[in-house]
Every structure is written in structure tokens, then in C-alpha cells.
Amino acid sequence: MHKLESRTVVPTKGLHGEIVVPGDKSISHRAIMFASLAQGKSRIRGLLRGEDCLSTLQAFRSLGIEAIEPADDELIIQGRGLAGLQEPTDIIDCGNSGTTMRLMCGILAAQPFFSILTGDEYLRKRPMGRVINPLSAMGAKILGRDDNSKAPLAIDGGGLKSAEYYSPIASAQVKSAVLLAGMQGDGTTTVYEPHLSRDHSERMLRYFGADLESFPGGARVNGRVELTGQEVVVPGDISSAAFFLVAGLIVPDSVLLLRNVGINPTRSGVIDILQQMGGSIELLNQRELSGEPVADLLIKSSHLCGIEIGGEMIPRAIDELPVVSVAAAFAEGVTTIRDAKELRVKETDRIAAMCECLGTLGAEIEPLNDGMRIVGGKRLTGGQVSSFGDHRIAMSLAVATLGAAAEVKILDTACTETSFPGFWELLIQVAKG
């Protein structure tokens, strides 16, 4: 559990520089997991060493996986195959990481041993029924608090059958958990979803050799096909880049170049949204690394206008919507975010948190049941706000302050280590230009 701390952020007159954001969190999680389930050695470069990914790494070490770290952003994992994991001798602590817990449910539900997953006070409040229910339909035996909906979770693994699952929500974590469970058993498992959620699992599982097919509306995997160790290069995290995208757009006289950012089309909704608002974001040097599309992003300060955001765009930008609401506060006109009820069950209720904090700073913003309505163009004032222990809220508020009229004190900021180690130092670096 991170210690509490606070930061005071001061407005700036321009952001300049060339920066590299940390490795993609979603891809880093999956690289550790799939390398551990593969046969043979994998080398992972560009790994995010945030607290969430370290929780995943420690989980697999507790399952008997050998991993060495020859450099800060490099990891070598000796995989043991689909049947090579060992029963843990203690409870597995997933920290603050919902990705760790939900995907581990899919992996461990198929393993022929007993395991228990827990997490910090925030993770233990988050809904786990969304993965427990489909896994239980495959024969999984998972028990949890609050009518099998919250951690800690006790898993008596093994004996799963293949399934067809129609997910009521577009969730990469649900989809991945079901595919990972099905991959370890007999037959073909298929997941259907209402909108396309991020497809990092499908891309990387194919890269490791899984017999997996994506199709409009879902994905299917054939079981008992062994994965093979690979060289993986993790691109920069678009969710981390989003803070600097918005900062560069809203602070006058700014020019930023972000190198090696992942632009997976299931994740790049924030780029599309900001461009629709009038933001100058240019994609340079587009290429592919380890099955993932990558580019350098050139950002110039822009005059933004309010837009409507909803529908299929939401799963492609769900984690970036807090900082999008900051962009909306600086845009001319009204921005409405809908179909984003998922924001209410993240590390905190991100709709309530952003409305309270931006409102405290003078923004005209109101919560909707499934989103927010922001009337932009009103200069933000200084003050004191809290992150509510949520890394994305903390960083979004820091970005908002850069274009405000006075400094802002943000409480509980150590949580940024969850996904973006070095965020504050990088912010100072570009503010100095």
C-alpha cells in the first residue's frame, strides 16, 4: 500500500520537449502472464515497473515462475507451460490491480490446485462478479465476499469445460479471463461482446502461438495449444501519454513530442476524441512492435471545442475519460460524456471524483448517471482537491492545474506510482521546456 503524500502544482506558460512515457500497463501485465504460461524463455523490454505490474510479477513468482531483471525496464521469464504452475503456499496479493485479479481468475480457475486472491482496500471494493459468473458457467469453483462479487476470492481450480459467453459489457478484462480459462482446457471457447474492447490479449496470445481468432463482435480460442517463449517489446502507454496530450493542447504555446506510443485502435479513442475537439495531434513514424501498432505523437496547443462522446468510442477511451473531462473544461462550448457508467466502478467513482474536483476549481460540470456534462471555457481557479487514492484522478488534476489561474494542492498523490512512475518529474521537465 502506497503512503499518502500531496503535491502542489503551479500553472505554466508553455510545455516543450521530447519525452518517452512508461511502457503500456495493459501490455506489460499480459507479457508477464503469457510468458509465464509459455514454454521456454521470454525476454520483455520496455516493461512498466509500476506497482500494478509488479503485483502481477510477484503473483507468478509465487506460482513457481523464475524471473530475473537484468535492467530496470527488462525482464527475462522462464516459462513452464500451461500445466507448469505450482500451487501457491500463501495468499496472492494483487495490490490495487484489477487487471491482475480478473485475469488471474481466468488462469487459476483452470489450474488443478487451490489459491486465494486478495488486494488493497480499493480493489476489495471493486466488482469481481463480472468474471466470476462466466467462469462459474464453465465449471469454475470461486468463492468471494458479498455473494461471490468481491475479493478476497478463493479458487478451487481445474475441471473447466469450453463455453460460448455473451458478455453484457465490453470489457477486455472479462474477455481475457474467459479466453485464458478456455485456452487451458479442451474444445473451443468463444466470447461475444457488445462493442469491441481492447484486444491486447488476442494480439499477444497469437504472438506467443495461441490458436486464437478475432472476429467482428468477439474472439474464440482453441484449448490445449502450448505457447512458446518470445521477445516482447512493450510500447509506451497511450493512457499515460493522454495526460501529456491534453496538457500540450490546453496550455498555450506548447509543443510536445511523445516517442514510441502504442496506438492500438482499440485503445486510441482518446486521440480521436481530442482531434474531434480540434486538437493538433500528428502521428509520425507509424510502425509495429511485437504485434502492436506504435507511433510518435506531435502535439501543439490548440483551440478546443466541446463535442458529444458516447457509444463505441467509450470502450476505446474509458481510462482516459477523466483527463478528457479536463480538456472539456478548457474547450469552448458543451461536452457531454455518456455510456460511461463503467467509470463508477474503477479505483474510485471517477465520475463523482472529477465532478467534485473540477467543480471545486471553478469548472461548470455536472455528473450524469453514465457520464458528465461540462460547459467549458471558464478559467479554473486554485484550491485544494483530493485524488481519492486514484492514480488517474491525481494526474488529471495535475494537468488541469497547468492551465489554471493559480496553484492547486492535490492530496494523496503517491498513487501515481501505480501506473506512471516518474510522472511528476516528467511534468516538471516539460514545464521548464
Burial of 215 (0-12, 13-18, 19+ CB in 10 A): exposed
Pairwise CA distance, residues 170 & 195, whole Å: 5
Q: Are 66 and 79 in contact (CB under 8 A)?
A: no
CA distances from 10 to 302, 331, 334, 382, 406 (A): 21, 20, 26, 9, 7
**What DSSP letter does each residue of 364-388 carry, written as one string?**
EEEEETTEEEEE--PPP--EEEE-T
Q: 253 an active-site residue?
A: no
Q: Are strands 164-166 and 92-93 parallel, antiparallel or unpaired?
A: unpaired
Among candidate residues 93, 237, 319, 390, the one labeled active-site is 319
What the block records as the C-alpha cell of 159 is 475441471
Q: How far apart are CA 316 and CA 132, in angstroms?
A: 24
Q: Is 265 left (phi over 0), alpha (psi -120 to 50) or beta?
A: alpha
Instruction: Return d(Cα 352, Cα 166) in angstroms, integer.
Output: 30
- Residues 301, 433: Cα–Cα separation, whole Å: 14
Half-sphere exposure of 57 (CA within 13 A, CB side): 21
Q: Supply 123's cell numbers.
A: 480493489
Could you tell me if 327 and 249 are in contact, meaning their C-beta atoms sit under 8 angstroms apart?
Answer: yes
Q: Helix (H, G, I), strand (E, B), or coil: what is residue 47?
A: coil
Tell me the Ramachandran region of residue 412: left when phi exceeds 0, alpha when psi lies from -120 to 50, beta otherwise: left
Beta strands in 306-345 (DSSP E): 308-309, 334-337
User: How far is Cα 175 from Cα 130, in angstroms, rounded to an integer?
Assistant: 10
CA 269 from chain center: how many Å? 13
So which residues are the catalytic ones? 319
